[in-house]
Amino acid sequence: MSLQSINPANGQVIQSYTAMSDAEVDAIIDEVNRAGNGWRNTDFSIRADLLKNAAKVLRSRKAELSRLMVAEMGKTYTSAEGEVDKCAWVCDFYAEHGEEFLAPEPISSDASLSKIVYNPLGTVLAVMPWNFPFWQVFRFAAPGLMAGNTGLLKHASNVSGCALAIEEIFAEAGFPNSVFRTLLISSDKVERVIENPAVAAVTLTGSTPAGRAVAGKAGQCLKKTVLELGGSDPYLVLADADMALAVETCVNSRLINAGQSCIAAKRFIVVQECVDEFTQRFTELMASKKMGEPSDPDSDLGPQAREDLRNDLHKQVTKSVAKGAKLLLGGEIPDGPGAFYPPTVLGDVTAGMPAYDDELFGPVAAIITATDEADAIRIANDSNFGLGAAVFTRDTERGEFIAAEQLQAGACFVNSLVKSDPRLPFGGIKNSGYGRELSHLGIREFVNTKTVYVA
């Protein structure tokens, strides 16, 4: 069986990779497990130096790695460069703070000494998606390696070149052999890897169905999981919002990575008082964005990652229109090669439409009218997802209260687009998953939080 990388801008095959046999996979898992016996005992200072080396490698190879992302999944070159920079940042962040985050914690008890210590779990399997082919991996790998774990990567098959490049980066940085390895396998082989006794835990970023499957198998094997799944992030625009800021931020968030981001804005919930102004200005700005060849610096968005994904997105648009949504912009598959889909705006979106109920993983915006602030909050929470959310209001104290106490999501922002940051915990609730990545919480997900008691 072969795994193909196909350029989504023109449909041409970039390269085919031979999938690994079961025997090859077992051998790699065994090598990684044995490498972990030494790695878990290395000093934090050694791990930190190697992570800093990885950051240097990333920066030195930025142009090459950016071109690879552009070719394999169609993100614009500018956004690809930013992704490489962010990966270097997360390596430096955990190199600087990892030892502090995992320092022993004294606890007062009836013992002469009691404390909490954090020990590595072992080999962590990462099942990763194609939309941020480097960032999704490094935000698991940097804290995991710093904690003393080893890593196995099962990446999306259409970004196999990126997967192998990540393995090369850690090797070039000087990490011991087999501390981090890539498995070139199809998705139907993941359960077999999870069953391997040498795999201690699993992290997955992907769709909700994929999360259910992985969590189910890991649960049967009693292995820890962290899941970062889909999102249908609501952006609330209240009557007193700075309209220029709200419109620009909402458009920018909707078009991140050509709309292919779990935390891109999906549902724009606007109070009745200002919905007409928002809709007009939002649609005009969306219309001004240029769709084109992702390597062109003038392109604001490139193609969707695969034609089947583009076609599924279009079906969601047409079904929403059939149920009464107004097509205000876009909504037509362009002629020519590639998996392109234009910036699209749907108005009068209501419950029961795919644009309201489901995740739209592409440059399609759903505008939903709320009668007032309370109704906007109700609509925002009327979702099976709970990854990110944002609220726009000039009353920042009120906005903070809504974000902190009333919106049901793992990351809630005020007057800003939702984004991931190594310093802040990242993850969702409901069908958007569980567990947290990044910050001090992320590095503690895959460790044994151990009580030590001395009488």
- Residues annotated as catalytic (active site), given as ranges: 228, 262
C-alpha 416: how far from its chain's center? Answer: 18
Burial of 351 (0-12, 13-18, 19+ CB in 10 A): exposed
Q: Which long-range contacts (CB under 8 A, 24 or more apart) does 293-299 make?
A: 293/9, 294/9, 294/70, 294/74, 294/75, 294/76, 294/77, 295/67, 295/70, 295/76, 295/77, 297/77, 297/78, 299/76
Maximum Cα interatomic distance, the chain, rounded to a whole number of Å: 75
260 within 8 A of 266, measured Cβ to Cβ: no
Q: Who contacts 169 (Cβ-Cβ below 8 Å, separation ≥6)? A: 54, 57, 58, 61
Does residue 257 come out as left (phi exceeding 0), alpha (psi in the -120 to 50 range) or beta?
left
Is-contact 54 219, C-beta < 8 A? no
- 300 is written with which tokens? 């604001």
Residue 70's contacts (CB-CB under 8 Å, 6 or more residues apart) are: 76, 77, 80, 294, 295, 302
Tell me the torsion sign for CA atoms 76, 162, 204, 121. negative
Give one word for 260, left, alpha or beta, with left for phi > 0 and alpha for psi -120 to 50: beta
Helix (H, G, I), strand (E, B) or coil at 281: helix
Distance between CA atoms of residues 377 and 370, nearest Å? 9
| DSSP letters spanning 433-450 | EES-BSHHHHHTTTEEEE
DSSP assignments along 86-107, one per residue: HHHHHHHHHHHHHHHHT--EE-
Strands 105-106 and 385-386: unpaired
